[in-house]
Chains A and B, each alone.
Chain A
Amino acid sequence: MLDIRGLTASIGDKPILKGIDLTVPAGEVHAIMGPNGSGKSTLGYVLSGREDYTVTGGSAMFNDADILAMAPEQRAAAGLFLAFQAPIELPGVNNANFLRTALNAIRRAHGEPELDAVQFLKLARAETKRLAMPDDMLKRNVNVGFSGGEKKRNEVLQMAILRPKLAILDETDSGLDIDALKIVADGVNALRGPDFSALVITHHQRLLDHLVPNRVHVLAHGRIVRTGGPELAKELEKSGYAGLIAEAA
């Protein structure tokens, strides 16, 4: 599904990613942990094509396509989705219209017919219900006046409606209460299948209890310093990153 080799990237002339090697096979969920500032969000942004990052080396193949050569919207059409650590507010843009425009853009890219407003609302209401979100979330402006938790849930709603092949969740669990955390986990689990993979960036074991990752990677100073099974997350929760980073250095 995703095959990253020797990926290096900078902001301005400051190197942030210093050689990432990471393979996520189809159907698997991988967790990425690591201290603040280690480059986790940067990895998500670089994979989804944010323009202020410069890829300086390496490659990232997504289902055998070179995603680094694609525009952000092409990556989304190819099935990539990033749940933002800090979702962006769009004043004056209605959430339902935003979601329908996005879904239809992706459907268009696949040569599928667009959904009209009625068809879309039916789908969107079903998803909000399944994710135990209030309907009025669709009527409001995108993320404007949303609480931190509502913004995160809105990211999960977008993911549920756009149905990506690879979802990158950037600390989608941070700041959520236990119920909301379960909603996020359910959102991901509902998509799970042989054609869906996820890269879950998190600091907490709690989310991984619900999601049970196939692999756990630790990112520090722009490199993956350790990879293990689900037990690695539990170990880190007890001992912290310090020992591990010292060991790697």
Chain B
Amino acid sequence: MSTGATGFLQRYEDAVGRLPGDSALRAAAAAAFREAGLPGGTQGRRIEAWKYTSLRPVAEANFQVSPRHEAETLLSGLTLLDAPRVVFVDGVLRGDLSVLPAVSIARFADQPDFGTLTWPDREPMVALNTMLATDGVALNVPAGVDGGIVQLVSLSGGQGDFHPRHGIRLGKGASLTVVEVAAGQGAYLLNTVAEIHVAEGAHLTHIRLQDEATTAFHVSTTYADVQAGGTYDSFTLNLGGRLSRTEVHTQLSGPNATAHLNAAQILAGSQHADFTTVVSHAAPSCSSRQTVKNVLGGRSRGVFQGKIAVARHAQKTDGYQMNQALLLSPDAEVDSKPELEIFADDVKCSHGATVGELDAEQMFYLRSRGIPDAEAKSILVRAFLAEALDAVANETIRGLLETAVEQWWERQKA
């Protein structure tokens, strides 16, 4: 018996009344989810935003509360930074495994902004999260404070479905680096939503390292609102998951706000990973940058959908988008959909896409110097990724991501 949309709705009916937060919002989300269903599921509506990614396998899975698993073992197997960490196990904050940061941190039930940025009526997975979320973290960095680095670690197991809900709020001129690491073991669903406020002149660096079990489903939706002169600088590295969708909505609400939505996806076997972005330029003189690279082996499929929307009064907008794919196998596939929706007349927006294979001459050059085939491939793949990874300014964090790529590569060899 699959859980399906019906099962999730039943879960909500059973819990309603005991759920924290705004109950009207929950009810509205449930109504929207009932209407939409799971994208690609038999009862789901066809949605343009889910054109290349079907959640049919999610709709067909039977999610059930799983026995406790060894989160400690999973955690000790992870490469992490020597920095505070907030650890979630099966979607629940585990204080005993966490090293709490100095910045103000609260739990989900105390999130004052719950639901203020999201669109459950438009995004079925956000509706699902909004109706079922019970835990998450609220990070609050007061004006002018540097919150340093906070790691948000998610460890999942078994066949459960988890819907954590995070809120990140930076006051004026504040700064923070959030490094999200998701890993696990099993055929679970992790469906995270994060709501982010970046006030005037504040700077949030947001790294996502998705290294889930290759049997798992991972859906992550972020909404970021960036005020004048603020920066939302994000980098996503998708390595794991059977099926993943990373969706980032950024609204540039004040002049001179900046968004970087860079990503790399490295896939093998029959993995499917979808990176979807929407950048709304809602104020003049804002800039957005997106460099997205897919490295696809086996029968894997990489998706990039990037929408840049420029409002009528958002003059002097500078939007850039580049999507490049490297196909390591003839059976791999990339789908790319750039979308420019421009209502202002004085803007600079560009997008480009390339798809290629490993260069035979470069491969031969490396091998003629004694470098074995697999190592030569990995050198060229890392060179291809370098441009995207170079966008991660912090060397230690870049090192963490490079190590993850390295380990991914080792796993493919095994």
Contacts and interface: CB of A to CB of B under 8 A. Distances in A.
A48 B366 CA distance: 12
B371 A101 contact: yes
B362 A88 contact: yes
B299 interface: no
B383 A91 contact: yes
Interface string A70-104: 01110111000110100110111100001001110
A158 B369 contact: yes
Contacts of B373: 71, 73
Contacts of A50: 364, 368
B16 interface: no
Interface string B362-384: 10111111111101100110111
A51 B375 contact: no
Given A73-B367, A76-B367, A105 B362 contact: no
Nearest to A52: B360
B386 interface: yes
A68 B233 CA distance: 52
B372 A73 contact: yes
A83 to B, nearest CB: 10
Given A50-B364, A88-B361, A93 B379 contact: yes
Given A88-B361, A88-B362, A92-B387, A71 B367 contact: yes
B368 A105 contact: no
A86 to B, nearest CB: 9
Given A92-B384, A93-B383, A102 B370 contact: yes
A60 interface: no
Most buried by A among B366, B376, B380, B387: B366
Contacts of B361: 88
Contacts of A77: 370
A52 B383 CA distance: 24
A143 to B, nearest CB: 9
Contacts of B379: 90, 93, 98, 101
Interface string B133-177: 000000000000000000000000000000000000000000000
B346 to A, nearest CB: 34
Interface string B348-370: 00000000000011101111111
A65 interface: no
A162 B369 contact: yes
A123 interface: no
A90 B369 contact: no
Interface residues of A, number: 29
B369 A76 contact: yes
B387 to A, nearest CB: 7
A81 B371 CA distance: 12
Contacts of A88: 361-362, 364-365
A51 B383 contact: no
A158 B383 CA distance: 20
A49 interface: yes
A101 B375 contact: yes
A75 B376 CA distance: 15
A105 B384 contact: no
A108 B394 CA distance: 34
A72 B362 contact: no
A224 to B, nearest CB: 24
B364 A51 contact: yes
A101 to B, nearest CB: 6
Interface string A218-237: 00000000000000000000
Contacts of B376: 73
A40 B360 CA distance: 21
Nearest to B389: A92
A145 to B, nearest CB: 15
A188 B376 CA distance: 27
Contacts of B362: 88, 90
A92 B369 contact: no
A68 B376 CA distance: 20
B371 A102 contact: yes
A11 interface: no
A145 B138 CA distance: 49
Contact of B368 (A48, A90, A91, A98): A48
Nearest to B390: A92
Contact of A92 (B364, B371, B383): B383
B386 A73 contact: no
Interface in A85-131: 87-88, 90-93, 98, 101-103, 105-106, 109
Contacts of A103: 370
Given A88-B365, A90-B362, A76 B370 contact: yes
Contacts of A90: 362, 365-366, 379-380, 383
A105 B372 contact: yes
A50 B366 CA distance: 11
A1 to B, nearest CB: 18
A76 B367 CA distance: 8
A77 B367 CA distance: 10
A51 B359 CA distance: 13
Contacts of A72: 364, 367-368
Contacts of B364: 49-51, 72, 88
Contacts of A109: 370
Contacts of A71: 367, 372-373
Contacts of B383: 90-93
Interface of B: 360-362, 364-373, 375-376, 379-380, 382-384, 386-387
8 contacts: A71-B367, A73-B372, A82-B368, A101-B371, A102-B369, A102-B370, A105-B369, A105-B371
Given A90-B365, A92-B387, 4 more contacts: A72-B367, A76-B369, A92-B383, A158-B369
Those 4 A-B pairs whose CB atoms lie nearest each other, nearest first: A92-B383, A76-B370, A102-B369, A72-B367
Interface of A: 48-52, 71-73, 75-77, 81-82, 84, 87-88, 90-93, 98, 101-103, 105-106, 109, 158, 162
